[in-house]
Structure 1
Amino acid sequence: MLATAAWKQAGRRSLTDAAKAVTATQTRAMHDLTMRKKTGQTMVKYGRGGRSSTNGHIATVFGCTGFLGRYVVSKLAKQGTQVVVAYRDPDEARHLKVTGDLGQITPLEFDLRNKDQLMECVRHSDIVYNLIGRDYETKNFTFENVHVDGSRALAEACAEADVARFVQVSALNASEDSTSKFLRTKALGEKAVREVLPDATIVRPGTMWGHEDRFLNRIGAGDGWQYWINEGQTKIRPVAATDVAQALEVMLTAESTMGKTYELYGPKEYKISDIYELAREIILKPLPIRPLPTSVARLGATLLDKLPYNQMISPDLIERMTLDDKPTPGALTFADLYIEPTVLEAVAIQFLRRFRSNAVFDLPFEKGEGKIEKGVYHIID
């Protein structure tokens, strides 16, 4: 009995000592406090920084289940931001749960037409990112519904909830005078947001590439089924999705970006034909391309667009494929965020290697190291 009592007493002392140690590590200081200049909102940091800590910020990301969204959520959560991931389909948001530590990722269902759900998603946040967009129209959502009405609804919800920051992701070449309905509605969406929140930050990324993109993957997987639009002469400045996500991460705390517009595009301009040539050198396949007049492509896309099920090929997509990237002279870019964008050629093999055949899968890539003749790759000494 005496031994048991002594053991229990020793256990209590050890628990008390452990509690004191935990209390000591949780001491707060003035440097743990940050405040939003706009709202005066106070945020308290917990931990030593990083994924298993809390930096005091709460961010809501709309469009988080898309290509760019997963990288934005990951980068925000990695630095200790609590992230509200707004979704329509729970299965599409499931992979985001592990991007942050336990309790850091909060999934909430929403509908762009349901104001109460929008308010629930943003009411605790000090910054909201709108990454929602559509490449093609459906029977439920047109470009206007998503890019204009949806953006305005999110901005109004943030204004009502006194959210300190709002970041609107638009598109490079967005203009009210554009021949593309997609780009016109993107510009109108920017205008709608600025009418509600004049200090919102506008971000216009170029064509993005990455592991889940619809750019390099289409080129690599389309062996024998590719068609020239505009004879491959359209000029673009592709940008890494991870670089755009990093820029959005910087904007979390950079209040100097409020009310400004940033155009985020790659450091090098390519013709579409140049991208295909690069893909051929990496994949070591011919990747044949059939010429297709733009007028015929528009007609075919119009017919496909009228089918009863959703089609990603639309007349507006064909129109966008004929438009060159034209950055605005003097616009703010990556350089103003102290970020150096990645050159596509330097890392393209990481995204295109999987389209190689087993015979050449492990070969290194050096631009100009070989050539393809009649479907066979030849090494040049």
Structure 2
Amino acid sequence: MLATAAIKQSGRRSMVQVRAMHDLTFRNKTGQPMIKQGLGGRSTTNGHIATVFGCTGFLGRYVVAKLAKQGTQVVVANRDPDEARPLKVTGDLGQIIPLEFDLRNEEQIRECVRHSDIVINCIGRDYETKNFTYDDVHVKGSRALAEIAADAGVSRFIQVSALNASEDSPSKFLQTKAKGEKAVKEVFPEATIVRPAIMWGHEDRFLNRIANTSGDSFQFWVNNSQTKILPVSVVDVAHAIEVMFGAESTAGKTYELYGDRAYTFEQVFDLAREISMKPLPTYNIPTGVAKLIASGIEKLPYNHTISADLIERMRLDEQPSGDAHTFKDLYIEPTSLEADAIHYLRRFRSNAVFDLPYEKGEGIVKKGVYHVID
């Protein structure tokens, strides 16, 4: 039943909504009440408090923005306040709470989750460092977050893994992702597992890497660029997590999130050439040679974005398991790469063709020079 208050203003009476029954919801696991206030949007308080680990990463930033937009108070657990600071503007005043933490410090983790009803773990490493191995981050770290969240009475836990995650994978990254899923399920059986395919977006290491060539620079690839992938928009993955956040029916399930069609890397390069209107030269390197070079780069003292394990993943086809839920179960239609790539690749065009529209097949590469077909 709707509760209202009558207010007399300037000789007339107006009705102001105070509360409605649909503003009150309960978490199934704990029975914790969530009371919504406001008319909707970022200035609304929906009664939920979420902690996002890995909030400054590629996917994490989009997840924080999605949750804050619907009025969720979000604790952004971070290791670097400067990287977390831009997230403040994704929510209204007081909605984004930055807290520093260390993955090996249980008290700091506990402080990050003690008021939350949902925890989302987006932490991951593309390469190992002297301080954190894949096992430290994907397995031990995930288990610690799940254990502390369960002990704190958190209702929901969402673990972001990876498509192709398997303990039998030749990639240590994918092995530890699968072990991390298992570790989380052992201590938090109701956890939701999310396995996204390779993601594209404004800050990705996918389309940006492919199109970011100039002069005599080039991109390398392995497996003759024939590895099959199922690229997915980071916005779609963040939207899926947003839906899971409010849908209790997704608890305990595994979701594999991938694009609407499969591409080889060669096809993605061709698409990038068409849109950027540049030749974008590429060279295929034997896998063994690429791994040897990457192993040497891994030993350098500064941060790097390539590793021998990444080379291994570059030759593995992305294959859904077939027994997990997908976008379809969340009533989401994944965005087409061909339709969306123009928004991310246009900036790599020259000024002469920057404003030209894009239609599939509008250009060809011939003798190293891009020709626009009228």
TM range (shorter): over 0.9
For residues 305 and 364 of structure 2, the distance between their equivalents in structure 1, rounded to whole angstroms, comes to 33
Superposed displacement of residue 109, structure 1:
0.7
Q: Choose which of 194, 207, 223 in structure 2 pairs with 1:230.
A: 223
Specify the code of the residue in structure 1 equivalent to 2:186.
E
1:28 to 19, 35, 38: 19
Q: How far apart in 1 are the matches of 2:270 and 2:346? A: 15
Task: Give the aligned partner of residue 314 of structure 2.
Answer: 321
1:292 alignment counterpart: 285
1:307 is aligned to 2:314: no
- Secondary structure of the residue aligned to 1:324 is coil
Amino acid aligned to 1:301? A
Encode CA deviations 1:49-77: one digit per residue, 9 max, x unaligned: 11101011111100010111111111101
Quote the offset at 1:26 in angstroms: 6.2
Per mean C-alpha deviation after superposition, the further-off stretch among 305-314 and 182-191 is 305-314
Counting only pairs closer than 5 Å after superposition, residues 275-286 of structure 1 correspond to structure 2 as 275-286=268-279
Structure 1: segments with no counterpart, 5+ residues: 1-15
**Larger deviation, residues 278-287 vs 26-35:** 26-35
**Aligned residue among 175, 193, 196 for 1:202:** 193
Q: Which residue of 1 aligns with 2:4?
A: none
317-326 or 290-299, which deviates more: 290-299
1:5 maps to which residue? none
1:338 is aligned with what amino acid?
A: Y
Q: Quote how far apart the aligned CAs of 1:234 are.
A: 0.3
Question: Shift of the alpha carbon at 1:30?
Answer: 2.4
SS in 2 for 1:65: coil
Q: Deviations over 1:102-136 (max 9, x none)?
A: 01111111111111111111011111000000000
Letter in 1 for 2:238: A
Matched, 1:104 2:95: yes
Tell me what 1:54 maps to: 45
User: Does the Cα contact within 8 Å between 2:225 and 2:284 map onto a contact in 1?
Assistant: no
Which one has a larger percent helix, Structure 1 or Structure 2? 1
Give yes or no for the alignment of 1:68 onto 2:91.
no
Q: Give me the TM-score of the superposition, normalised by structure 2.
A: 0.94
Cα distance in 2 between the residues matched to 1:128 and 1:61: 6
Match of 1:175 in 2: 166
Secondary structure in structure 2 of the residue aligned to 1:252: helix
Aligned-residue identity in percent: 71
Which 4+ stretches in 1 moved above 6 angstroms?
A: none
Match of residue 41, structure 1, among 10, 13, 32: 32
Cα distance, 1:359 vs. partner? Answer: 1.1
- C-alpha separation in 2, matches of 1:248 and 1:238: 17
* Amino acid of the structure 1 residue aligned with 2:27: R
Assess if the C-alpha contact under 8 Å between 2:223 and 2:284 holds in 1: no
| Aligned 1:66-215 pairs, distance under 5 A | 66-215=57-206
> What's the RMSD between the two structures over aligned residues?
1.6
Residue 242 of structure 1 aligns with which residue? 235
Q: What is the CA distance between 1:253 and its match in structure 2?
A: 1.3
Question: What is the Cα deviation at residue 372 of structure 1?
Answer: 2.2
Q: Does 1:342 align with 2:335?
A: yes
Q: Distance in 2 between matches of 1:216 and 1:308?
A: 27
Output the CA distance in 1 between the equivalents of 2:370 and 2:355.
14
Give the structure with the higher percent strand.
2
Counterpart of 1:12 in structure 2 is: none
Q: Distance in 2 between matches of 1:244 and 1:218?
A: 20
TM-score, normalised to structure 1, is 0.93
Total equivalences in the alignment: 363
